Amino acid sequence: MNGLFRFPRTAWRWPALALALLLAAPQALAAQLLDRIVAVVNDDVVLLSELEQEVKTVAAQLQQRNIPLPDQQILIRQVLERLIMQRLQLAVAERSGIRVDEATLNAAVQRIAEQNNLSLSQFRAALEAEGYDYAAFREGLRNEIVLARLHQRQAESRVHITPQEIDEFLASQSGSNTDEYLVGHILISIPDQASAAQLQQARERAEQVLRALREGAELAQLAASYSDSPTALDGGSLGWRTQGELPTLFANVVPQLAVGETADILQGPSGFHIIQLLDRRSSDRAVITQTRARHILITPNEVVSESDARQRLESLRRRILNGEDFAELAKAHSDDKASASRGGDLGWASPGMFVPSFEQAMAQLAPGEISEPFRSNFGWHIVQVLERRQRDATDELRRARAAEIIRQRKTEEVLEAWLRQLREDAYVDIRLDG
């Protein structure tokens, strides 16, 4: 299962309570409005009450981050588009059989609470003290996990990386700096096979935004008002990235910018891009801790439910604790056939080689300790850490990092194209003026 554990990203990363709160839907509006449909999305609808709630949530998020609110009508349009895209994706997930059971959801909530140094009851109380409904928070989180799994499935079927690609990437990066860049991004999208008039209209819009930026407007506010990127309502930030991690279109431009400087408009397949360098910092490598572990995987399917998978692993764990051999049980029961033949042994692993949920569980174990059953994107696991070591693994890290960068680039491109096509193929009837 070596390939499975190399997918580098997942949705379950919230370092602070404020970020956890962003996922939650607020309580119902105090003033109950007469509900009506504001958008028809294929066979589904978006209601006015849902839109009002989400607008309130997004406005609170932007204010928490000190981002000036865009014009109310623009904000409503942006939020409605987010809800439309969520509806479309959740419908695909439903048809694909992607589900999140209560055990998985409970585990995710528990992790968020722990990341905020709170017990579950304290976390719930903190949410409710801020005016958020706990049940709504859970459902919002469930949707986030569903969409993360959907995106991973879409990427896994389309993204492939070869050793030659890694070699070529490393050769192209020879001599490049290791600085990290915080980049703000605004996308003015264009449809596939756009006409000359559509291209001109989009370019004029991009030029308008660029002028505003260079005259001192805040990128976060402009992103919330004009950007067609998924990061629009998150301030437009791409997060900290090295030069190699940046989209190919930006990679040679960003290092030439001074902090606060905005590049000229860049045109790509998805539209016109405006980027601003928000900050930069040096990045140095250090000696890493490698872990050698073994695991048993049970993958839920049409026959084996989530609950069945977890119970089977609980039984196997008890048998191991009672003296049965881990390796023999892995050979007999693990659905990871690649490691099962080796008694579940995953070999020496550097940070970033496994999905975050697996690495997090592994990091909490002392050598010899066996985890409780836990869920990753690939199913239910128990894992035992065999040993750890400190190692200078510069070459391995460079290749692993290169593979992650290539995967990230390809994944972003694939998902961007898929989402654009999903939106264009959908029947959407917006009824805001009613």
How many Å apart are CA 214 and CA 351, to the nearest integer? Answer: 40
CATH class of 179-283: alpha beta
Q: Domain locations in the chain?
A: 10-175+392-434, 179-283, 288-391
Q: Which CATH fold topology does 288-391 show?
A: Chitinase A; domain 3 (3.10.50)
Q: Structure pTM?
A: 0.52
Neighbouring C-beta atoms of residue 82, cutoff 10 Å: 15
Output the pLDDT for position 25: 39
Output the pLDDT for position 143: 92
Output the pLDDT for position 245: 83
10-175+392-434 — its CATH code? Answer: 1.10.4030.10
Output the pLDDT for position 310: 94
Sign of CA dihedral 350, 351, 357, 360: positive
pLDDT under 70: residue ranges of the chain: 1-34, 173-178, 283-286, 392-394, 434
The reply to whether domains 10-175+392-434 and 288-391 share a CATH topology is no
